[in-house]
Amino acid sequence: MLRLTKKADYGLMALKYLAEQAFVAEHAGPNATGARSAKDIAEAYHIPPQLLAKILQTLARAGLLVSHAGTNGGYALARSAANISAFEVIRAIDGPLFITSCITIHGTCDLAGHCTIKEPLRKVNDSITDLLAGIKIADLIEPTDHLPAAMAGGLVSIER
């Protein structure tokens, strides 16, 4: 059920890494960008560099990252870490796929008409979306004992 692709997984990791870099850069000096090359990130987490590169490209195209080519180039967050949600990352990488086949592209599932379960499921889907949207990558940077904000406060409406 509900599987997150490894690519999205990698994407999240990379984002987190860049967020950390941005954080230290901010405290290091005014002209530090926090940019890192795809290779650097890949090495840090032991994931295939080429694959990560492609993921980062996708993320950049989606506007979540800014890229800079050439020597000493690399990627950096386009926005503040607290301003990028896990949902955006996932959607950028895996596409606007949702739990059922019918929700995104109207007409995919041939049982559209006589499906009685579609509407309720759409609500569930929305709930999950909201949940994910409420989680920012800044939330997953803390040192594990301090709960992420979205989770610490603890309540998320699933009404939509």
Partner DNA sequence: CCATGTACGACCATTTCAGTCTTGCTTCCG
Partner DNA sequence: CGGAAGCAAGACTGAAATGGTCGTACATGG
Residues 12 and 56: their CA atoms lie apart, in Å, by 10
The neighbouring-strand residues paired with 77 are 65
* Under 8 Å between Cβ of 35 and 73: yes
Binding stretches for its own copies (CB under 8 A): 1-6, 8-9, 12-13, 16-17, 44-47, 86, 90-91, 94-95, 97-101, 110-111, 114-117, 119-121, 123-124, 127-128, 131-132, 135, 139-140, 144, 147-148, 150-152, 154-160
Residues 30 and 129: their CA atoms lie apart, in Å, by 36
Long-range contacts of 114-119 (CB under 8 A, 24+ apart): none
- Amino acid, single-letter form, for residue 71: T
**Residues in 21-80 that interact with DNA by CB under 7 A:** 37-39, 47-48, 50-51, 53-54, 56-57, 60-61, 67-75
Q: What mask, x for binding ligand SF4 by CB under 6 A, covers residues 98 to 117? A: --xxx------x-xx--x-x
Residues 76 and 68: their CA atoms lie apart, in Å, by 8
Stretch that binds ligand SF4, among 14-22, 51-59, 95-103, 145-153 (CB under 6 A): 95-103
Q: How far is the CB of 128 from ligand SF4 (least distance, A)?
A: 15
Question: Coil, helix or strand for 76?
Answer: strand
Q: How far is the CB of 5 from DNA (least distance, A)?
A: 3
Q: How far is the CB of 109 from its own copies (least distance, A)?
A: 8
Which pair of structure tokens corresponds to residue 147? 């709960």
Q: What's the CA angle centered on 69, arms 67 and 75, to 5 degrees?
A: 30
Which positions touch DNA (CB under 7 A)? 3, 5-7, 10, 37-39, 47-48, 50-51, 53-54, 56-57, 60-61, 67-75, 94, 97
